[in-house]
């Protein structure tokens, strides 16, 4: 299938600022991109891209005072298949044998404050700690524990705060699931990207970027999603990190008031039919 994806985002800036943007498709999907994945700036500004320490594409832009609009409209090929389910009853790896670059995803981070949830995690999931079944148990728990509510979104909410408040959006589901995995010595990381309503009922809420998780089991990374709690079709990864702080869509060094935010993720039926 061919997915058409993109966005229109506008900020009002009272004074010149620097913006860091993580809005490109992740390099691991670059061979799937069928039309240019480029950030359009209106008005035109000086911008350049670099790879951060997690392998994500970051765009650095110098933005003048006034309104700046960011836009993109591109197509990407996807298999159209349901993603692989979480492995069941695979042995959870011994921490002493984990690759060095995976160990950072066991540590508490800005939003995944696993150190505040350890006692609860071991009391609740400890009996499953030797196999990957703990991962699905965590996913099931978080899916039921948090109530989705856009109106109560808060960009400073940590995993433990989401645990106690029992409300949030996709990033809160991801943060809590990741933190609980880390409590159980399962490396887990935060992902952000596009996720359209492919093969599922259409969500009545406005389209948005999505957040999900990856866990390191039996020598490889697996995607899982505590908000939806079912394997999905058509995830398009943009960035990975320890938590949302590492993969912020935009970071403004100065004041940038959000004026417009629209995201598109649909199947391009004509291009899909053409193969």
Question: What is the per-residue pLDDT across 140-199, written as a single tens digit (0 to 9) for each?
Answer: 999 999 999 999 999 999 999 999 999 999 999 999 999 999 999 999 999 999 999 999
Q: Which residue has the higher pLDDT, 147 or 93?
A: 147
pLDDT class of 94 with cuts at 50, 70, 90: confident
Report in angstroms the alpha-carbon separations of 184 from 110, 172, 251.
18, 19, 32
Q: What confidence tens digit (pLDDT) does each residue in 225-274 have?
A: 999 999 999 999 999 999 999 999 999 999 999 999 999 999 987 776 66
d(CA 47, CA 57): 13
pLDDT class of 275 with cuts at 50, 70, 90: low
pLDDT score of 23: 98
Alpha helices by DSSP H, listed for the chain, are 118-125, 133-145, 159-165, 170-183, 269-274
Q: What is the mean pLDDT of residues 12-22?
A: 97
Q: Which residue has the higher pLDDT, 130 or 61?
A: 61
Question: Are the beta carbons of 8 and 273 closer than 8 angstroms?
Answer: no
d(CA 32, CA 134): 33
Q: What is the mean pLDDT of residues 43-48?
A: 96
Q: Which residue has the higher pLDDT, 129 or 122?
A: 122
Q: What does pTM read for this prediction?
A: 0.95
Domains of the chain: 2-78+249-268 (2.60.40.2250), 95-244 (3.10.620.30)
Q: What is the mean pLDDT of residues 48-53?
A: 97
- Two structure tokens written together for 223: 């995607």
pLDDT class of 205 with cuts at 50, 70, 90: confident
């Amino acid at each position: 299938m061919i997915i058409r994806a993109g966005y229109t985002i506008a900020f009002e800036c009272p004074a010149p600022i620097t913006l860091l943007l993580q809005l490109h498709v992740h390099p691991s999907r670059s061979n799937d991109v069928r039309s240019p994945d480029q950030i359009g700036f209106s008005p035109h500004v000086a911008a350049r891209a670099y790879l951060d320490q997690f392998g994500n594409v970051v765009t650095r832009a110098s933005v003048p005072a006034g309104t700046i609009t960011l836009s993109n409209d591109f197509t990407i090929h996807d298999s159209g298949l349901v993603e692989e389910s979480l492995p069941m009853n695979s042995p959870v790896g011994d921490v002493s044998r984990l690759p060095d670059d995976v160990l950072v995803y066991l540590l508490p981070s800005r939003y995944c404050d696993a150190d505040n949830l350890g006692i609860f995690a071991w009391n609740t999931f400890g009996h499953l700690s030797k196999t990957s079944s703990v991962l699905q148990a965590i996913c099931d728990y978080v899916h039921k524990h948090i109530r989705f509510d856009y109106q109560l979104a808060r960009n400073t909410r940590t995993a433990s705060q989401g645990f106690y408040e029992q409300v949030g959006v996709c990033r809160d589901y991801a943060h809590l699931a990741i933190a609980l995995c880390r409590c159980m010595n399962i490396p887990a990381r935060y992902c952000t990207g596009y996720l359209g309503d492919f093969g599922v009922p259409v969500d009545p809420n406005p389209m948005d970027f999505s957040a999900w998780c990856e866990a390191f089991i039996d020598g490889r990374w697996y995607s899982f999603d505590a908000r939806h709690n079912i394997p999905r079709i058509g995830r398009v990864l943009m960035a990975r990190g320890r938590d949302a702080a590492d993969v912020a869509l935009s970071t403004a060094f100065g004041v940038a008031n959000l004026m417009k935010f629209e995201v598109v993720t649909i199947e391009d039926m004509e291009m899909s039919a053409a193969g």
